[in-house]
Structure 1
Amino acid sequence: MASAPRLLLPDVPAIVAGLGRAVLVTPDGEIETLPADAAAARLRGTAPMLVHAPATARRLGIPGFEAAHDLLELFAFCHPAESCAPTPRGLALALDLPQPTDDEAAAALLPEIATRLLRDLADARDLPRNRDAAGLAARMGEAGWAWAPSVLAALGDPAAKASANAYKVWRRLPEWEDTAPAPPAASFPVEPAEARRRLAEILGAGAEQRPQQADYASAAAGAFAPREHPGAPALVLAEAGTGTGKTLGYIAPASVWAEKNGAPVWISTFTRNLQRQIDQETARLFPDPEQRRRRVVLRKGRENYLCLLNLDDQTAGGPPPYWAVALGLVARWALATRDGDLVGGDFPGWIAELFGSAAVLPLADRRGECIHSACPHYKTCFVEHSIRRAKSAQIVIANHALVMVQAALGGGEDGPPLRLVFDEGHHLFDAADSAFSADLTGAEMAELRRWLLGAEGGRSRARGLRRRLEELIGDRPELNAQLDAALMAARALPLPGWPSRLPGGGSARPDETPNAGEVFLRAAREQVLARTQDARDAGLYDSECDLFPVTADLPDAAEGLGRALRRLEEPLVVLRDRLAARLEDEAEEIEVGDRIRIEAACRALDNRALRPLRAWGQMLATIQADPPEPGQRPAFVDWLSLERRGGADTDAGMHRHHLDPTEPFARAVAAPAHGLLITSATLRDEGESEDDDPEATWREAEARTGASHLPTPAIRAAMPSPFDYASRTRCLVVTDVARENAGQVAAAFQALFLAAGGGGLGLFTAIRRLRDVQARIAGPLEQADIPLYAQHVDAMDNATLVDVFRAEEHACLLGTDAMRDGVDVPGRALRLLVFDRVPWPRPTILHRERRLHLSGGRPKDYDDRVARHRLRQAFGRLIRRADDKGVFVLLDRSAPSRLLHGLAPGVLIRRLGLAQAVTETRNFLAEP
């Protein structure tokens, strides 16, 4: 029986750990600073209160904790679907508590954070989402969750019985309902004056006047004009310097068009970070959360969402003890989440860090196994909810990958968007390159085999095609015969563990006969090793080689695999066609659910099997064709590759990319749309030509975005940044650090980070160098009270690392490409940016061909454009508000001055030694 809630704090020490030392607060309130080994010894046999147990253990130099009262777990239970950076300061920020200024204050604050969280839970115990909270906490307690007694006391039910049913969140989730098809969209234009008025309404009275933002909104309105000719969308290319306010600038005309015409506008980004930022900005358009949920929808691929059937499978009969706590926190989140997005949405990324990715990643449908209406949770499915909401929304916030893939697959589940805004438009080339490419590799073929045959030994829940289709096929002999033939033919694809059976793999037996897929992979591997230019790299690192001229074995292997793939493709085509024919032949008998399942099955056969099989067949035919003439401009770039990790093969095969991927983008995405806005802060390369010819920079922008492949010219617009870069920034090139000397590079990072007092972002062009620098400087920085976080080192995803960096004003962060683009850290949290060297493009075969054929006869300029663009993107992270100030440092004395032109207007570039750079950084950032 429920009783009055009470606050029950655990009688354990609280700890905050740095590298090599820790601050410990005893239950009596005594604060001690101890060496790491001494702190670890004191904590043995206890379940200390802390924040982020794996990170704390790593800093103490111990394998882990037998038990711990991790405040992140308590936060996730008490405040599900709310965000916080996984540090004491991050928790304090999220709970509106005083910010700790040092480790001692942070350790002393931990009991107060626990008290606040438990009080919040007690106050909210009557909310619907807490109806099963006590039973869930008790079940988690049986699995060893340290917080269970405290949570049960706060819920007023200390004797609650464990309930496995508490994991069955689908019982309390709303069901979607089908509605009549939406009427066709109207074609009313958006006038520039309308866009300006809507922008003013969003900003509100008394907002700062930003003329560039209003001009930008006016220009963006051109993308919402009626289309005049088929295949010729209204197209606007708009460059908006940092600080222009382009997000609200395009949301204004987009929202007007959606209201006037009764159809959604799709806003597409390249990074999840920006997708989340745009979603947050729409709160200014729709302040009421419920109205915003109806009118603004985030769309991602299915692999990003919680699959309720997977959760059901994992918790059926009660989850295994080692996952019970993690799945309990997922269940709490599922009842509060806005849209079920596990990746980059409101799901705390650090849950996977606390319990391991295996506890969370399998909960999403990452392998295309959705059974649609056959799923018992179909009516509460998060993906189905988002698809239906998107059709009636005004704003759909997607990403380039989803938009491109859906276009490549013929429109996808949402249908082709009529109006598109591509933010981060400078990434369209790369996004199209990924979406419209094909890979005939061991990993891809093995994945298709698994999708068709399901689990083949070992523990796996892979269903296979027979299980997914058995109810639709029933006892129809003509369908079963085709399914049997397809599954038999699928055995020509590489078996699981195929890399170990390659020559030198160590597990091949003399009596084993490789199938057609593995024969092809062996021939591809041999050609790569034969053509590797540096003998020292052969068999040690990833390698690639041109497809032509082919070795003697490759054409025969390609022919054999081609025959095998045709034997697989033919019955799958018949199976798809005969399933589709049921929709007409049995129209009066088929129930709605079965119709949906048949349509989904046909779509899955097309997308998951037939499309790659057709692409692979074309690639194999190329191998047997006459080789191209040297220097001939190809439509596609083909090459072979071998991937190795730790001295062992992991993948091999053939790759095909369009020479110019904006051609299929223009054909499949842009031409069907009625209007497009392509925008970015770095759309043009202003340092491209010696005479800074504006026309040349626009032509380059049109080529990189696909605008040059459309029949009507684009409207061009450029808004300068309102920021005073000349007085708010410094650009320094350090001339006395040898970039090849790891010790010198690490020392430079350390000196600069110390000079800035933290707030430094270090960018690297190679993961190996990042890890080396991190290992060298983490200790000295920690001793100076500057925490150091690093991508590819810390057990945190990129979004969590950025959240921590943003919350910890004196922290520093090391990262690679993902930290260069789309990261928004305003204020003093980012005041120094250090690049380890010029980010030249990797010298791959694909880059070589594009450099040769897409450079307009100036290959070196092509390389310069890539590097200059990356430097501009990095520089753009530094100043996010008018009152920001920061220093940009490049540790590459060989950096050509031409690459630094166009970083930002008025920026003075100075070349000096490290000691001078340190002094300049310290003095500039210390100025009021």
Structure 2
Amino acid sequence: MTSTRTANRVQAFLAERLPQRAGYQANPVQMAYAGSMTGALAQPGKLHFIEGDTGIGKSLAYSLALADWVARGKRKHKDKGRNQDIGRRAIVATHTRALQRQLLDPEHLELIAEYLALEGLPSLRVGLRMGRGNYVSPERLARSLGAPELATVAKDRSRRDEERTLAQWALETPGCLLDLETDALPEGVTLADICLLPQEPLPRALEEHFQATQSHDILIINHALLALDLVTEGSITGAQTPYALLLDEAGRFPDAAESILSEQLSLRASHALLDQLGIRAAHAWQELLNGWTTPSHAGRALPLSAPQREQLVAAFQTLRRAKPNLDAVSSTLAAEWHRLMAQADLMTMRLKDSPDSPLLVSHSPVIGLPSLVAQEPAAGRCLKSGAASRCTILTSATLSDMQHALGEAPSFDYLRGRLQLGTADTRLGLKASHPALRFGRMRFTLPDDMPPPLWQPEAGRYALSPTFCAIATRRIRSLSGRVLVLANAYSDVEAIRHAWPEEDARLTTHAPGANLNQIAEALDEDAVLVTPSGWEGLSPTRGDRAFWDHLVILRLPHPTPDPVLQALLEQQFMRRGSRSREEASKLARQILLKQGGIRATHKLRQGLGRGIRHPDDDVHVVILDPRFPSPRGAPAGEGLRQHAQSLGAIPPRFLKDYREAQTTWPGEAATSGRSDQKPMPDTAWGTFF
């Protein structure tokens, strides 16, 4: 079956069969995107970049293309009298849990099954494997219930039915916490209190579940697990040739991979563990912690000095001589000890390999508490490993650099750079972008009298300005209907909550760890939701109507600078080009500034996409940050500069609406939002906030 014929079959389903269902209609852009997907699957050994705009139906299009490819490759063979599947498989890696849930939605799976049945293809098993922190820890749950083990709770007839049911659930199922209603938890206990920790052994039911997922035809995992799977040659997914790997939200993969493949050792946490185990080495680690805690280095990452290297080698040697009585402590503490020893061994090897080994001391932002970081910038290396024997597809609504006009070829320079893929790399395959041409409507308000969003109440600390909060809150309250306010941090949420009048009951704020989609679904028609977690993956429904009437961007989502990456880049430039530390530092800042600008543009595009989920949706977008370019050319204000790159976040089909945006607030006379508070300085680092 050629890729053209397969594409035609998938496209025919999207054009003819899908519109027969309520709420669906034919979308030429979705069909073109599906065609690119099937074209990529016909070219194994390549890395394909395929961008698809928000709302075109990417997840269904690539799910059908993958299902068709896997199903047509399934075959049976006899192995010792048993039938065994040895055909194709597909691995789908995402960044957000919300997208994973969307891919497993019953209606989504029903559409895939319907397509396979129409084509006379075999049915497929679709499964999910999440990180262990998303599953219950039987030991920690038993502790929260005041029992030595869960089996005791399950058998205790004197306990409430809810507690016994909870214990039985944790014993007999994999224990996915996303399936657990928080009301079922004991009072005062949160999901974070009972999740499986990295150092804990796998419960039997969860281990069996993980083994079972290795035989699923289509397996959904997250980016961090994918990175581990790639470097361990399929230990997590069990994927073998032939298989297809699709990364959705692919722009987030490099950060996730480099984070999970790096090691970080907190001196304070290590000392606390040694103290709990009663090890003499705790005293030496306390001295190390006290000596390396440096408030003047708060928020920075620095290479180890020669004396620090000597102190660290000595501290690791004291660990090797320690003989804790692990039989006398809990299995969790014993596992933490083994993990600490593994980290110590890794960092000892780094110290021995080379005096220039990228081992850094990262100091916490407030008081400068030290942690050791063994950074592993390996996103490109791990993704390219084994690429010749599979088909690799990277996709997202924000995959390109988004600086191209409608109809121009997109640039994927940022992501290619993060993956260390040159423009002439023979592993590069298809490069395509599929923008939505007509999908929804946006109306813009960009008031040009807003004050700076951040100010500096004390040295080394930035916060959402009280003046900005007061004006923002007043204007948000004047909006009627359902309002989504996208913040950058939970501290922003708290600042808005503090400025919100108590008598106004419209406000709902998102607490860390709470299920955001559930909160949104329960909102009244006139509610205001403020969250830092809704930029992507937030997709509540209200039939065919737009869920949000207004979408408010408090401030541009520029990421906080990573001091570890800054230090690593400085070291690389100093080693390779005989540059001075000052020159290397300046060059590193410029690179991180550019990368941060592209990441902010991606995130802003994703945030704007929360307002348009259906073809006829109509949303009012309010951008309160004065650093976003004004359509009238108004300056950003004293001490600030506008970020022209942010304009790339607006889909081309809405640029005309942006140019016609209101720049004064309806019903208000033009005012000056200038403040006598100290604004955020306009430095290279300042542009990240």
Please give the TM-score of this superposition, normalised by the length of structure 2.
Answer: 0.73
In the TM superposition, 1:72-471 aligns within 5 A as 191-198=3-10, 200-201=12-13, 203-204=17-18, 206=20, 208-225=25-42, 227=44, 233-261=45-73, 262-280=87-105, 281-286=108-113, 295-307=125-137, 313-318=148-153, 327-328=163-164, 330-331=166-167, 340-342=175-177, 344=178, 346-352=179-185, 355-357=187-189, 361=192, 363-370=194-201, 378=204, 381-388=205-212, 390-416=213-239, 418-442=243-267, 445=270, 456=277
Question: Is 1:791 matched with 2:511?
Answer: yes
Deviation, 1:310, is: 6.4
Amino-acid identity (%): 21
From 612, 637, 658, give the equivalent of 2:343.
Answer: 612
Change (3 A) 1:666 1:864: same
In the TM superposition, 1:730-809 aligns within 5 A as 730=444, 732-739=446-453, 740=455, 742-777=465-500, 779-782=502-505, 786-792=506-512, 797-799=513-515, 801-808=516-523, 809=525
Partner of 2:494, secondary structure, is helix
Match of 2:458 in 1: none
Query: Separation in 1 of the partners of 2:225 and 2:167?
Result: 27
Deviation, 1:833, is: 2.1
Deviation, 1:565, is: 5.5
Change (3 A) 1:747 1:190: farther
Conserved 8 A contact 2:40-2:429: no
Query: Separation in 2 of the partners of 1:611 and 1:554?
Result: 20
Deviations 1:399-445 (A, max 9, x none): 11221223344533432463211111111121112122121322664
Deviation, 1:568, is: 7.8
Query: Separation in 1 of the partners of 2:172 and 2:613?
Result: 32
Change (3 A) 1:620 1:568: farther
Aligned partner of 1:385: which letter?
H
Change (3 A) 1:456 1:643: farther
From 641, 646, 662, give the equivalent of 2:363.
Answer: 641
From 654, 660, 674, give the equivalent of 2:372.
Answer: 654
Aligned partner of 1:561: which letter?
A
Aligned partner of 2:621: which letter?
F
Partner of 1:877, secondary structure, is helix
Change (3 A) 1:556 1:694: farther
Match of 1:904 in 2: 651
Match of 2:675 in 1: none
Change (3 A) 1:448 1:285: farther
Question: Is 1:698 matched with 2:412?
Answer: yes
Deviation, 1:309, is: 6.8
Aligned partner of 1:347: which letter?
L
Conserved 8 A contact 2:30-2:61: yes
Conserved 8 A contact 1:296-1:394: yes
Aligned partner of 1:790: which letter?
H
Deviation, 1:383, is: 3.9
Question: Is 1:721 matched with 2:436?
Answer: yes
Question: Is 1:891 matched with 2:637?
Answer: no
Query: Separation in 1 of the partners of 2:132 and 2:238?
Result: 15
Change (3 A) 1:271 1:371: closer
Partner of 1:248, secondary structure, is helix
Match of 1:833 in 2: 551
Conserved 8 A contact 1:851-1:859: no
Deviations 1:840-886 (A, max 9, x none): 23234235358877989766534432332222222122211112121
Match of 2:332 in 1: none
Change (3 A) 1:257 1:804: same
Query: Separation in 2 of the partners of 1:638 and 1:694?
Result: 43
Change (3 A) 1:322 1:305: farther
Query: Separation in 2 of the partners of 1:292 and 1:813?
Result: 44
Conserved 8 A contact 1:192-1:219: no
Conserved 8 A contact 1:239-1:682: yes
Question: Is 1:810 matched with 2:646?
Answer: no
Change (3 A) 1:807 1:882: farther
Partner of 1:915, secondary structure, is coil
Deviations 1:3-33 (A, max 9, x none): xxxxxxxxxxxxxxxxxxxxxxxxxxxxxxx
Aligned partner of 2:610: which letter?
R
Match of 2:300 in 1: 544
Aligned partner of 1:546: which letter?
L
Deviations 1:676-697 (A, max 9, x none): 1110001012238xx9996672
Query: Separation in 1 of the partners of 2:172 and 2:151?
Result: 22
Match of 1:879 in 2: 612
Question: Is 1:563 matched with 2:286?
Answer: no
Change (3 A) 1:401 1:913: same
Query: Separation in 1 of the partners of 2:175 and 2:493?
Result: 34
Q: Unaligned 5+ residue runs, structure 2?
A: 74-86, 116-120, 143-147, 324-334, 456-463, 574-586, 629-641, 671-689
Deviation, 1:775, is: 2.2
Change (3 A) 1:326 1:407: farther
Alpha carbon RMSD of aligned pairs, Å? 4.2
Question: Is 1:680 matched with 2:403?
Answer: no
Conserved 8 A contact 1:733-1:909: no
Match of 1:125 in 2: none
Change (3 A) 1:846 1:696: farther
Partner of 1:563, secondary structure, is helix
Partner of 2:626, secondary structure, is coil
Deviations 1:113-154 (A, max 9, x none): xxxxxxxxxxxxxxxxxxxxxxxxxxxxxxxxxxxxxxxxxx
Give the helix-richer structure, 1 or 2: 1
Deviations 1:678-731 (A, max 9, x none): 10001012238xx99966722233223555496511311110124446x43325
Partner of 2:364, secondary structure, is strand
Partner of 1:838, secondary structure, is coil
Match of 1:666 in 2: 383
Query: Separation in 2 of the partners of 1:420 and 1:297?
Result: 15
Query: Separation in 2 of the partners of 1:839 and 1:197?
Result: 41
Conserved 8 A contact 1:274-1:823: no
Change (3 A) 1:447 1:761: farther
Change (3 A) 1:863 1:235: closer
In the TM superposition, 1:594-613 aligns within 5 A as 608=339, 612-613=343-344
Conserved 8 A contact 2:230-2:383: no
Match of 2:355 in 1: 625
Aligned partner of 1:401: which letter?
A
Conserved 8 A contact 1:790-1:815: yes
Change (3 A) 1:761 1:612: same
Conserved 8 A contact 1:524-1:640: no
Please give the TM-score of this superposition, normalised by the length of structure 1.
Answer: 0.55
Deviation, 1:269, is: 0.6
